[in-house]
């Protein structure tokens, strides 16, 4: 009930939500709206806001981007964009490549020396910004164009007019969740454990919704596959 009453004073619509609004909403949640003798500075709340956005993006992975590059003969590893989080889909010359783990590849004898047409890619956690290919392209005949869809990080808030999730319109309705994360962290600092738990529960409920809705296809109705030549 307390959350519902607080929400009545918060922004009714998340469209066009900005850092300034998220910070104000956070102050409402922790009753720190006075013009003087505030318990939390803007810099403290900015840290909570940015950490909340990072947590949301890591959990829900709502930001997806394309990236294209060319394989080079004799080159195994390729740098990823600075906002790279994880691979969602990767093709070589429009053929989907599977992801392999280092542990699985280690079952092959001296696999890192094998050259040929790449059939898989892998990520080594000791070099998270690089993607390797197996086999590595040994000659120009085994190169090609890599087209990748990847999950991206969000740009940190730095100015009051900044919007969450890189300003992606479809994701703006979930920006209010960052205020709940901020309220949760500030409540912990205040020693308000029960309040912090309530705000975190609302935040986590919403983050699950974001993870589900970010790539939902409500109009997608797959056709039931029938039998072909007597085979179902």
Query: What pLDDT, in 10s, does the model give residues 93-118?
Result: 999 999 999 999 999 989 999 999 99
Determine, yes or no, domain membership for 187: yes
**Structure token digits, residue 86:** 């994880």
Are residues 18 and 125 part of one domain? no
Helix (H) or strand (E) holding 132: strand 130-134
pLDDT tens for 131-159 read: 999 999 999 999 999 999 999 999 999 99
Are residues 168 and 146 part of one domain? no
Are residues 168 and 144 part of one domain? no
Are residues 123 and 160 part of one domain? no
Determine, yes or no, domain membership for 224: no
119: Cβ contacts below 8 Å, ≥ 6 apart? 97, 98, 134, 135
Question: Domain range holding 21?
Answer: 2-62+155-213
Are residues 136 and 92 part of one domain? yes
Residue 200 scores a pLDDT above 60: yes
Are residues 178 and 162 part of one domain? yes
Determine, yes or no, domain membership for 86: yes
Determine, yes or no, domain membership for 118: yes
Are residues 47 and 35 part of one domain? yes
Are residues 161 and 47 part of one domain? yes
User: Alpha-carbon distance 132 to 76, whole Å?
Assistant: 5
Determine, yes or no, domain membership for 232: no
User: Alpha-carbon distance 61 to 85, whole Å?
Assistant: 8
Provide the number of structural domains found in the chain.
2
Alpha-carbon separation of residue 33 from 24, 28, 39, 51, 132 (angstroms): 8, 6, 9, 21, 51
User: Alpha-carbon distance 63 to 154, whole Å?
Assistant: 8
**pTM, rounded to two decimals:** 0.84
Are residues 164 and 53 part of one domain? yes
User: Alpha-carbon distance 62 to 71, whole Å?
Assistant: 28
Residue 183's pLDDT band (cuts 50, 70, 90)? very high
Are residues 105 and 58 part of one domain? no
């Amino acid at each position: 009930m307390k959350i519902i009453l607080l929400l009545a004073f918060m922004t009714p619509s998340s469209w066009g939500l900005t850092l300034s609004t998220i910070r104000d909403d956070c102050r409402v949640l922790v009753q720190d709206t006075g013009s003087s003798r505030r318990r939390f500075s803007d810099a403290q709340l900015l840290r909570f806001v940015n950490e909340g956005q990072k947590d949301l993006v890591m959990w829900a992975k709502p930001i997806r981007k394309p990236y294209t590059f060319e394989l080079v003969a004799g080159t195994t590893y390729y740098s990823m964009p600075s906002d790279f989080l994880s691979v969602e889909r990767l093709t070589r010359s429009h053929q989907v490549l599977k992801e392999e783990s280092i542990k699985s590849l280690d079952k092959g004898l001296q696999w890192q020396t094998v050259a040929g047409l790449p059939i898989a890619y892998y990520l080594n956690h000791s070099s998270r910004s690089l993607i390797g290919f197996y086999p590595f392209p040994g000659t120009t005949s085994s190169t090609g164009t890599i087209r990748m869809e990847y999950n991206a990080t969000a740009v940190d808030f730095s100015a009051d007019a900044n919007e969450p999730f890189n300003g992606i319109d479809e994701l703006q309705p979930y920006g209010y969740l960052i205020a709940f994360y901020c309220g949760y962290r500030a409540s912990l600092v205040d020693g308000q454990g029960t309040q912090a738990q309530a705000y975190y529960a609302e935040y986590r409920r919403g983050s699950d919704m974001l993870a589900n809705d970010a790539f939902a296809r409500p109009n997608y109705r797959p056709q039931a596959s029938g039998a072909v030549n007597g085979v179902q």
